[in-house]
């Protein structure tokens, strides 16, 4: 009975926990306060791996901590089970994506149960179940009715390998995020969610999350939304009735505009070039072909040499009346702002590079050598401007982007950049040729996919182009069987081949209609799943608003930083939509977010190609669940990566065995009065308890584990060579270790708890509280000597630092008096006991 046997513990306690329903969050009459702790749900790609092991160890420590604080913790799990890998596996190996998916789910589920995560297994969901995706369709219909889901014929990102469209977010450096193939453009009729309507709120509400979400994630979200404030300015074009509007963040530099640039792939460019010479039109056509082969990021790259051509047209500067040549160049994008810009080469680097390439004029209009504070200098036409040659962008090649005083700018002269921006907008407004404007980098969310394994889009199409939503009482539109369908990517959805399924009737007239054959982006599934966990078996609605009121928003969300942009942005968007529709009363889904680091090997991400993959199941077989979980959290703070080459799982297992033996050796009764225990041991226990509270709420689990190890050593000594195993303080220590250890090593903790004479269920035991009289430190006496004579005695902490002790010594009144008029020759500090001061005179 004195051997620590992790296998026996795992086998013994897993079924007991199931039976006791310790993690059941929906018991009648449970009036504990509530917390919602959510781990990002997994994709069923195979068995659990080391990354999962880290994530679930972390999320579980958070969930268990709150239970120990007396909360009813909702800690659910489900599977994000639609998506391409299942479909690709089916294409490669034959078979049905459904079988592959559910077999993997079964395996992951078993592994999670063995891993001892305190999930509420009554609330499981799979997004590929009709009982779930029915509500994706419901959500789609709500959005469709509100004009937030719409179809548009447009150029989309196309992955030629996967033969499917990709959201902008799924294109990384011009490549498909999934398969790495080069992404091309294709014109298709696609469904979008109008996330741009929510751009301002998605940005502004990030403020609420400051301090609760990683700063890096907030910055990535801000950047992705990319709000720019500035002005729209209308330019007349010679021989054209309509004006061309440009968006600029620097209307203050209008007098420095020396040419205009339009995106070559815009309709405007095509129209403007139509009147040009045959030669120019031919050059333009060839240029356009080149442009089509480039991605947006590449086009805007500062490194790429500037290319473009003069369109033989002129624009008129609305303030100065100056005539500006109009060019087409690929560094201007067709789908940002108005697809046209006023180029100010002196103050914009890309414009400057372009001007220098094509020999266009550069005019400085912000004198960056002038201070912007103090009185406004009066600059007139006659004012001699400083020799700017050192700074002249045409010479240096460096645009002047800093602040300064406006010059060469008529009514704006002398103003600072900021004031000139407002003034320019005012003047433009007065003349009716400009107005304040705002632009976002964010684009609408393309949600349709031409693939099989996803949620069918609940729309019917008539022959005449009529479009109607499937009535809600006819949902779900169930995915047809894969059997007999050709799942191979071919640019149109495999569902189109399900002839029988495609046929439908108009819900009112009964006229024949055809189903929409596309399926939804799986990010739709994960944009609201946290709400479905609240009433996962409700077949009358997506979720129960009363349950949402009780539990949501999620108090703590835990997952990988790879979801920093897309998933979180979409979930935030859908939450706001549901808020606007009146289904929920909060508008941010995740009150706090924690990103765990990765598990790496020898400094590198684990991958088959590198041959450095550590198999989770091997580690679990060798060292046991608890040792692996403990190691994950002991290795580093949770945000940092864990290098598996640097950890010792065997060391963790040894510590667990030591802790477990401590519990075994305790000989006092469970009801012994611990207040009678050995004082030194008790002090160690209560200082430990005092210290770990704040550590736990800031996820410093690695430090808590270090303290647990120390307390275990102290207790071992107390048993072997101190007050002995019957001392009540030894029991107090062993119990504290068991209860806190439950965060990291639940099997060991449970067994210790029961060995200590309690009923199973350590997971629900309240954390013991530190007794303040036992946490105060003993003080010791430090002496201050001047030339060898004791002048003062100070009561100080035994852990006082040298600097602090020296400061206290010099502040002591008798020391001050004795030093009056003397010169200090030397000070020697030996904390915590002595300060020696040598003086002269």
Per-residue contact flags (x/-) with ligand ANZ for residues 518 to 557, judged by CB under 6 A = ----------------------------------------
Asked if 74 touches ligand ANZ (CB under 6 A), the answer is: no
Q: Which is nearer to ligand ANZ, 81 or 439 (CB)?
A: 439
Q: Which residues contact 130 (CB under 8 A, 6 or more apart)?
A: 476, 478, 479
- Rule CB under 6 A: choose which of 10, 25, 170, 253 binds ligand ANZ: 253
Q: Which is nearer to ligand ANZ, 258 or 556 (CB)?
A: 258
Stretch that binds ligand ANZ, among 37-45, 76-84, 241-249, 570-578 (CB under 6 A): 241-249
- Rule CB under 6 A: choose which of 175, 220, 333, 819 binds ligand ANZ: 333
Per-residue contact flags (x/-) with ligand ANZ for residues 345 to 364, judged by CB under 6 A = --xx----------------
> Is 368 buried (19+), middle (13-18) or exposed (0-12) by CB count in 10 A?
middle
Q: Which is nearer to ligand ANZ, 228 or 283 (CB)?
A: 228
Asked if 260 touches ligand ANZ (CB under 6 A), the answer is: no
> Is 821 buried (19+), middle (13-18) or exposed (0-12) by CB count in 10 A?
exposed
CA angle 462, 468, 469 (to 5 degrees): 140
Q: Which is nearer to ligand ANZ, 63 or 225 (CB)?
A: 225
Asked if 342 touches ligand ANZ (CB under 6 A), the answer is: yes
- Rule CB under 6 A: choose which of 332, 362, 427, 558 binds ligand ANZ: 332
3-state secondary structure 344-386: CCCCCHHHHHHHHHHCCCCCCCEECCCCCCCCCCCCCCCCCCC
Asked if 337 touches ligand ANZ (CB under 6 A), the answer is: yes
d(CA 738, CA 497): 60
Rounded to the nearest whole angstrom, what is the least distance from the CB of residue 184 to ligand ANZ in the complex?
Answer: 21
Distance of CA 424 to the CA centre of its chain: 39
Q: In this structure, what are the phi and psi dihedrals at residue 318, rounded to the nearest 5 degrees? A: -65, -20
Binding residues for ligand ANZ, how many (CB under 6 A)?
17
Rounded to the nearest whole angstrom, what is the least distance from the CB of residue 386 to ligand ANZ in the complex?
Answer: 20
608 known ligand binder: yes
- Rule CB under 6 A: choose which of 13, 314, 336, 644 binds ligand ANZ: 336
Stretch that binds ligand ANZ, among 109-117, 183-191, 244-252, 780-788 (CB under 6 A): 244-252
Q: Which is nearer to ligand ANZ, 109 or 423 (CB)?
A: 423
Kindly state the tokens that stand for 578.
């549901």
Q: Which is nearer to ligand ANZ, 58 or 428 (CB)?
A: 428
Q: Which is nearer to ligand ANZ, 341 or 558 (CB)?
A: 341
- Rule CB under 6 A: choose which of 66, 158, 198, 247 binds ligand ANZ: 247
Beta bridge partners of 229: 438
Stretch that binds ligand ANZ, among 116-124, 243-251, 501-509, 549-557 (CB under 6 A): 243-251
- Rule CB under 6 A: choose which of 339, 494, 536, 597 binds ligand ANZ: 339
Rounded to the nearest whole angstrom, what is the least distance from the CB of residue 333 to ligand ANZ in the complex?
Answer: 4
Helix, strand and coil percent figures for the chain, each rounded to 5: 40, 20, 40
Asked if 674 touches ligand ANZ (CB under 6 A), the answer is: no
Element housing 793 (H / E): strand 789-796
Scanning the structure block, which residue is given the tokens 């209307």?
A: 251
Cis preceding-peptide flag for 611 (omega within 30 of 0): no
Within 419-448, the residues that bind ligand ANZ by CB under 6 A are: 439
Within 205-234, the residues that bind ligand ANZ by CB under 6 A are: 228
Closest by alpha carbon to 262, among 321, 352, 333? 333
Rg (CA), the chain: 35
Rounded to the nearest whole angstrom, what is the least distance from the CB of residue 426 to ligand ANZ in the complex?
Answer: 18
Q: Which residues contact 127 (CB under 8 A, 6 or more apart)?
A: 78, 79, 80, 81, 82, 133, 136, 522, 525, 526, 529
Scanning the structure block, which residue is given the tokens 């054959």?
A: 517
3-state secondary structure 235-280: EEECCCCCCEEEEECCHHHHHHCCEEEECCCCHHHHHHHCCCCHHH
d(CA 109, CA 130): 20
d(CA 86, CA 83): 6
- Rule CB under 6 A: choose which of 113, 161, 249, 591 binds ligand ANZ: 249
Closest by alpha carbon to 228, among 511, 29, 421? 421
d(CA 558, CA 547): 21
- Rule CB under 6 A: choose which of 183, 206, 225, 344 binds ligand ANZ: 344
Kindly state the tokens that stand for 502.
């495609």
Q: Which is nearer to ligand ANZ, 35 or 347 (CB)?
A: 347
Closest residue to ligand ANZ: CB criterion: 228
- Rule CB under 6 A: choose which of 250, 405, 563, 572 binds ligand ANZ: 250
- Rule CB under 6 A: choose which of 10, 248, 448, 596 binds ligand ANZ: 248
Binding site, annotated residues:
608
Positions at the binding site for ATP: 608
Contacting residues toward ligand ANZ, per CB under 6 A: 228, 247-250, 253, 332-333, 336-337, 339, 341-342, 344, 347-348, 439
């Amino acid at each position: 009975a004195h051997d620590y046997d992790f296998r026996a513990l795992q086998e013994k306690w897993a079924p007991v926990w199931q039976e006791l329903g310790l993690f059941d969050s929906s018991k009648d009459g449970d009036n504990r306060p509530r917390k919602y702790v959510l781990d990002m749900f997994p994709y069923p790609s195979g068995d659990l791996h080391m990354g999962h092991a880290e994530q679930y160890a972390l999320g579980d420590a958070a969930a268990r901590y709150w239970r120990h604080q007396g909360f009813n913790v909702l800690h659910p799990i489900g599977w994000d089970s639609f998506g391409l890998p299942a479909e690709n596996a089916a294409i490669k190996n034959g078979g049905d994506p459904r079988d592959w998916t559910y077999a993997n789910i079964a395996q992951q589920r078993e592994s999670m149960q063995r891993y001892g995560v305190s999930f509420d297994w009554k609330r499981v969901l799979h997004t590929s179940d009709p009982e779930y995706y029915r509500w994706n369709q419901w959500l789609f219909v709500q959005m469709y009715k509100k004009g937030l889901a719409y179809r548009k014929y447009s150029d989309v990102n196309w992955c030629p390998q996967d033969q499917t469209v990709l959201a902008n977010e799924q294109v990384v450096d011009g490549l498909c995020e999934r398969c790495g193939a080069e992404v091309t453009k294709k014109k298709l009729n696609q469904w979008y969610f109008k996330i741009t309507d929510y751009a301002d709120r998605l940005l502004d509400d990030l403020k609420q999350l400051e301090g609760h979400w990683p700063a890096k994630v907030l910055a990535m979200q801000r950047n992705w939304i990319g709000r720019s404030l500035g002005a729209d300015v209308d330019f007349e074009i010679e021989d054209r009735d309509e004006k061309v509007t440009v968006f600029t963040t620097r209307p203050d530099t209008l007098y420095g505009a020396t040419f205009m640039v339009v995106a070559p792939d815009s309709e405007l460019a095509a129209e403007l070039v139509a009147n040009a010479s045959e030669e120019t039109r031919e050059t333009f056509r060839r240029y356009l072909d080149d442009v089509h082969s480039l991605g947006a990021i590449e086009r805007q790259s500062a490194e790429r040499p500037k290319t473009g051509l003069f369109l033989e047209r002129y624009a008129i500067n609305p303030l100065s009346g100056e005539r500006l040549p109009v060019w087409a160049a690929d560094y201007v994008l067709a789908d940002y702002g108005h697809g046209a810009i006023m180029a100010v080469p002196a103050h914009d680097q890309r414009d400057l590079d372009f001007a220098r390439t094509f020999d266009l004029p550069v005019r400085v209009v912000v004198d960056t050598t002038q201070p912007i504070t103090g009185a406004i200098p009066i600059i007139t036409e006659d004012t001699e401007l400083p020799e700017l040659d050192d700074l002249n962008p045409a010479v240096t090649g460096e645009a002047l982007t800093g602040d300064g005083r406006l010059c060469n700018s008529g009514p704006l002269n002398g103003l600072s950049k900021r004031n000139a921006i407002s003034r320019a907008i005012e003047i433009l407004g007065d003349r009716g040729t400009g107005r304040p404007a705002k632009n976002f980098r964010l684009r609408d969310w393309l949600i349709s996919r031409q693939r099989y394994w996803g949620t069918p889009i609940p729309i019917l199409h008539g022959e005449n182009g009529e479009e109607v939503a499937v009535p809600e009482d006819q949902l779900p539109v169930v995915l047809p069987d894969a059997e007999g369908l050709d799942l191979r990517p071919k640019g149109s959805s495999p569902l189109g081949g399900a002839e029988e399924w495609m046929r439908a009737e108009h819900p009112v007239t009964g006229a024949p209609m055809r189903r929409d054959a596309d399926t939804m982006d799986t990010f739709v599934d994960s944009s609201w799943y946290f709400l479905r966990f609240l009433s996962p078996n409700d077949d009358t609605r997506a979720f129960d608003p009363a349950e949402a009121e009780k539990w949501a928003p999620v108090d703590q969300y835990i997952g990988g930083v790879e979801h920093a942009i897309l998933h979180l942005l979409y979930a935030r968007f859908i939450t706001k939509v549901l808020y606007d529709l009146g289904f929920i009363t909060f508008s941010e889904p995740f009150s706090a977010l924690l990103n765990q680091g990765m598990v790496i090997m020898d400094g590198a991400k684990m991958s088959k190609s590198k041959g450095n993959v550590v198999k989770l199941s091997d580690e679990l077989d060798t060292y046991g669940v608890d040792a692996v979980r403990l190691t994950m959290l002991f290795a580093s703070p949770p945000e940092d990566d864990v290098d598996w080459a640097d950890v010792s799982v065997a060391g963790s297992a040894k510590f667990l065995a030591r802790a477990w033996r401590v519990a075994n050796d305790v000989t006092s009764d469970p009801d012994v009065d611990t207040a009678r225990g050995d004082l030194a041991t008790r002090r160690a226990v209560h200082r430990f308890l005092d210290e770990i509270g704040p550590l736990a709420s800031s996820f410093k689990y690695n430090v808590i584990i270090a303290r647990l190890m120390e307390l275990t050593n102290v207790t071992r000594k107390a048993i072997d060579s101190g007050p002995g195993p019957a001392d009540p303080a030894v029991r107090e220590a062993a119990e504290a270790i068991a209860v806190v250890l439950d965060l990291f090593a639940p099997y060991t903790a449970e067994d210790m708890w029961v060995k200590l004479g309690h009923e199973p269920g350590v997971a629900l035991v309240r954390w013991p509280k530190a007794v303040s009289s036992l946490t105060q430190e003993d003080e010791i006496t430090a002496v201050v000597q001047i030339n060898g004579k004791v002048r003062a005695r100070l009561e100080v902490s035994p852990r006082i630092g040298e600097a602090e002790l020296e400061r206290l010594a010099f502040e002591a009144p008798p020391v001050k008096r004795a030093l009056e008029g003397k010169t200090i020759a030397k000070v020697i500090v030996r904390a915590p006991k002595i300060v020696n001061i040598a003086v002269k005179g």
